């Protein structure tokens, strides 16, 4: 199984500058070298053409009017090498028709000489973010196409990757495990992953939601019954504990189980045998128990709703799955995974998301976690009319309130400071770090914004 994790190095972004005006090359090279870019400069179109063949770049800046090989030739060559490579055109006054043609051919943007260096800095920064996103999305889609085996826990989040390593380490043992986490974080998937990596993987994996059945029905499902145990019991019935013999039984929402049922389950864990309802015979069991809950078990224990002896029997090891809001870098790869899954199920030719859709998904708090993300992607595919998911296919409330969604953090609402930090970060990001613009949007002066940045250490 692939973790879909890439060790992202801190390499310098590479920039190619092509201009036959020495002063322009000098100014741009100085600016972007200071900004941390690896700059390659060429004073002719033919020199730029060769540089594209010799090296990989993240962004290209080229003058439109040059001898022999002009900006159009550079644009065509760049697109041949890498269709996602953004090309920024530099034009003089009176070149409107050429600019229009260049944009139609796929140029990222243009600036008219003379231009402000701040405008160029902002343009290159945005172009770099776009090409990075496109390349990452292509990489993730390729890896997802190759990942076809076993229970899929798709992540590049460091915390979740460490959890996967822990689960692999404990899977071969027969110890009982409690998996905790909010609804929709993938607790059953984690249980299946543990089973698939255990020595019991060739035996049954059986799961039951303890909160979905009344006590009598749950007892009947788990323990089974003998013929005549109750009205309508015309035949003997094997329970899930017997059916899981040799394998794994997953008890989802274990905290919803009544205290009476907890006592009966504890006896089975202690004695390794089960007695069917209405019977006297006991059946030996060889079952590994995995349990899950979205409740705070410490609170359940302290208030007497969950038995301590059962807790200690089950809680040999506890695995806590983080909410999706703490795994933001997993949102794109999960989105593409669900896109592939549901386009196959629905039989629609939808292959991608527009960048603004991924941006909105990254902003949203996902109180329903991975399950909510999957439902959202499935809905968008059903509503799609093109081969890309656009903002039109997202629920209106999502696009209108993506930033303002307040999530519970360890059963507490966020503080005012936490919400302010989140919003200031978001506005600064949208303004590309331009504090003057951000302060204007926030409705405060630049000095006040500077104080808040200093106070919250938002560098």
> What does the alpha-carbon distance between residue 248 and residue 270 come to, in Å, rounded to a whole number?
16
**Within this chain, domains 14-132 and 158-320 share the same CATH topology:** yes
- Find the mean pLDDT for residues 58-66: 91
In terms of pLDDT, which residue wins out, 441 or 202?
202
Which tens digit of pLDDT belongs to each residue from 236-250?
Answer: 888 999 999 999 999
Locus of tokens 């915390």: 159
What is the overall mean pLDDT for the chain? Answer: 85
Q: Which CATH code for domain 416-456?
A: 1.10.10
Topology at the third CATH level for domain 324-395: Helicase, Ruva Protein; domain 3 (1.10.8)
pLDDT at 312 over 60: yes
pLDDT per position as a tens digit, 121-171: 999 998 998 888 778 777 666 555 544 445 778 888 889 999 999 999 999
Q: According to the model, what pLDDT value does residue 104 have? A: 83
pLDDT category at 206 given cuts 50, 70, 90 is very high
Q: What is the dihedral of CA 385, 386, 391, 396, to 10 degrees?
A: 10
For a pLDDT cut of 90, what percent of the chain falls above it? 42
Q: Which of 43, 18, 4 is nearest to 330 (CA)?
A: 4
pLDDT higher for 304 or 233? Answer: 304
**pLDDT tens string 265-274:** 999 999 999 9
pTM over 0.85: no
Contacts of 176 (CB under 8 A, 6+ apart): 269, 288, 289, 290, 291, 313, 314, 315, 316, 317
Residue range 14-132, CATH number: 3.40.50.2300
Rounded distance, CA 330 to CA 362, Å? 9
Fold of 158-320: Rossmann fold (3.40.50)
Where do the domains of the chain lie?
14-132, 158-320, 324-395, 416-456
Return the pLDDT at 151.
73
Under 8 Å between Cβ of 29 and 41: yes
pLDDT at position 410 is 47
Q: What Rg value do the Cα atoms of the chain yield, rounded?
A: 29
* pLDDT tens digits, 132-146: 877 877 766 655 554
pLDDT digits (tens, 9 = 90+) for 72-102: 889 998 988 888 899 999 987 666 777 788 8
Work out the pLDDT band at 444, boundaries 50, 70, 90.
confident
Residues 383-423 have pLDDT tens digits of: 988 889 998 898 877 765 554 444 545 445 567 777 778 77
What is the arithmetic mean of pLDDT over 172-200?
94
pLDDT of 91 = 86
């Amino acid at each position: 199984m692939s973790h879909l994790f890439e060790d992202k190095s801190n390499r310098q972004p590479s920039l190619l500058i092509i201009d036959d005006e020495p002063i322009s090359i000098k100014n741009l090279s100085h600016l972007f070298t200071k900004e941390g870019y690896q700059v390659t400069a060429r004073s002719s179109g033919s020199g730029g053409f060769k540089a594209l063949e010799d090296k990989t770049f993240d962004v290209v800046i080229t003058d439109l009017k040059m001898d022999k090989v002009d900006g159009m030739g550079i644009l065509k060559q760049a697109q041949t090498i890498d269709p996602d490579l953004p090309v920024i055109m530099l034009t003089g006054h009176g070149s409107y028709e050429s600019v229009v043609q260049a944009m139609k051919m796929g140029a990222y943007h243009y600036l008219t000489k003379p231009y402000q260096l701040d405008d160029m800095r902002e343009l290159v920064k945005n172009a770099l973010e776009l090409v990075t996103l496109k390349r990452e999305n292509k990489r993730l889609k390729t890896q997802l196409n190759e990942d076809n085996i076993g229970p899929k826990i798709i992540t590049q989040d460091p915390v979740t990757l460490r959890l996967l390593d822990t689960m692999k380490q404990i899977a071969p043992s027969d110890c009982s495990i409690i998996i905790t986490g909010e609804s929709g974080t993938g607790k059953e998937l984690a249980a299946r992953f543990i089973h698939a990596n255990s020595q019991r993987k060739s035996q049954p994996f059986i799961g039951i939601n303890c909160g979905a059945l009344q006590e009598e029905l749950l007892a009947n499902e788990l323990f089974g019954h003998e013929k005549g145990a109750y009205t309508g019991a015309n035949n003997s019935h094997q329970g899930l504990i017997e059916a899981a013999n040799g394998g794994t039984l997953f008890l989802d929402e274990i905290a919803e189980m009544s205290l009476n049922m907890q006592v009966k389950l504890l006896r089975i864990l202690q004695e390794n045998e089960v007695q069917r309802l209405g019977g006297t015979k006991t059946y030996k069991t060889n079952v590994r128990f995995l349990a899950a809950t979205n409740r705070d078990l410490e609170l359940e224990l302290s208030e007497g709703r969950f038995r301590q002896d059962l807790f200690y029997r089950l809680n040999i090891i506890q695995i806590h799955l983080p909410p999706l809001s703490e795994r933001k870098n997993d949102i794109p790869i999960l989105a593409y995974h669900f896109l592939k899954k549901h386009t196959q199920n629905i039989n629609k030719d939808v292959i991608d998301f527009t960048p603004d859709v991924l941006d909105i998904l990254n902003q949203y708090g996902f109180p329903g976690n991975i399950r909510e993300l999957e439902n959202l992607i499935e809905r968008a595919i059903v509503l799609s009319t093109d081969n890309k998911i656009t903002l039109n296919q997202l629920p209106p409330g999502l696009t209108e309130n993506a930033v303002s969604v307040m999530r519970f953090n360890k059963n507490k609402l966020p503080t005012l400071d936490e919400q302010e930090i989140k919003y200031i970060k978001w506005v600064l990001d949208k303004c590309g770090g331009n504090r003057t613009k951000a302060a204007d949007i926030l409705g405060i002066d630049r000095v006040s914004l500077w104080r808040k940045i200093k106070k919250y250490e938002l560098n």
